[in-house]
């Protein structure tokens, strides 16, 4: 189980690095051509997505470490994790990853909504699809915990 922890951690670092690279490119683009503003907003929404994805990988790596590699290891070593990172079972990890997925999906919808090429029906289709996925994930979390 140490392999997924390492892969999640490396994926997190890669996502943060990629987000930083996109940020630098976005700043250059904004400085060179500040208008139209709507084109530049998309860059920053992509950056939010990349950092949220990186944070999701980081949370998954902590969760896998705490649950499988060294159960309670951080607490035993005297390190204090924030209470929202306290994971006692897979349901805790699942809830955090699903919450992050909902944030990512929401940001993705906003990207589509502000995209100048997107038209009303396309935005509505994407928004409806994302809403269905969020409802399904919420139901999965809500009813999945009762069964266990």
Dihedral of CA 26/27/30/31: which sign? negative
**pLDDT band at residue 51 under the 50/70/90 scheme:** very high
Q: Where are the domains of the chain?
A: 2-147
pLDDT recorded at residue 148: 46
CB 1 within 8 A of CB 68: yes
**pLDDT band at residue 121 under the 50/70/90 scheme:** confident
Q: Check whether 61 has a pLDDT greater than 50.
A: yes
Model confidence pLDDT, tens digit, residues 125-142:
999 999 999 999 999 888
Query: Does the bond joining 36 to the residue before it have cis omega, within 30 degrees of 0?
Result: yes
Lowest-pLDDT range of 21-35, 51-65, 106-120: 106-120
What is the mean pLDDT of the segment spanning 62-70?
88
Model confidence pLDDT, tens digit, residues 18-36:
999 999 999 999 999 888 7
Q: What angle do CA 65, 70, 73 make, to 5 degrees?
A: 100
Q: Count CB-CB contacts under 10 A for residue 48.
A: 17
């Amino acid at each position: 189980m140490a392999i997924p922890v390492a892969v999640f951690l490396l994926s997190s670092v890669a996502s943060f690095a990629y987000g930083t690279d996109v940020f630098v490119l976005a700043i250059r683009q904004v400085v060179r051509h500040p208008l139209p503003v709507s084109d530049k907003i998309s860059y920053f929404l992509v950056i939010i997505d990349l950092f949220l994805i990186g944070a999701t990988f980081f949370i998954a790596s902590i969760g896998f470490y705490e649950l499988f590699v060294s159960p309670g290891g951080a607490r035993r070593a005297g390190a204090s994790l924030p209470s929202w990172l306290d994971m006692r079972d897979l349901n805790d990890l699942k809830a955090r990853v699903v919450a992050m997925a909902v944030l990512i999906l929401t940001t993705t919808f906003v990207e589509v909504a502000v995209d100048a090429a997107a038209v009303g029906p396309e935005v509505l289709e994407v928004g409806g699809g994302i809403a269905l996925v969020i409802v399904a994930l919420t139901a999965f979390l809500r009813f999945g915990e009762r069964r266990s």
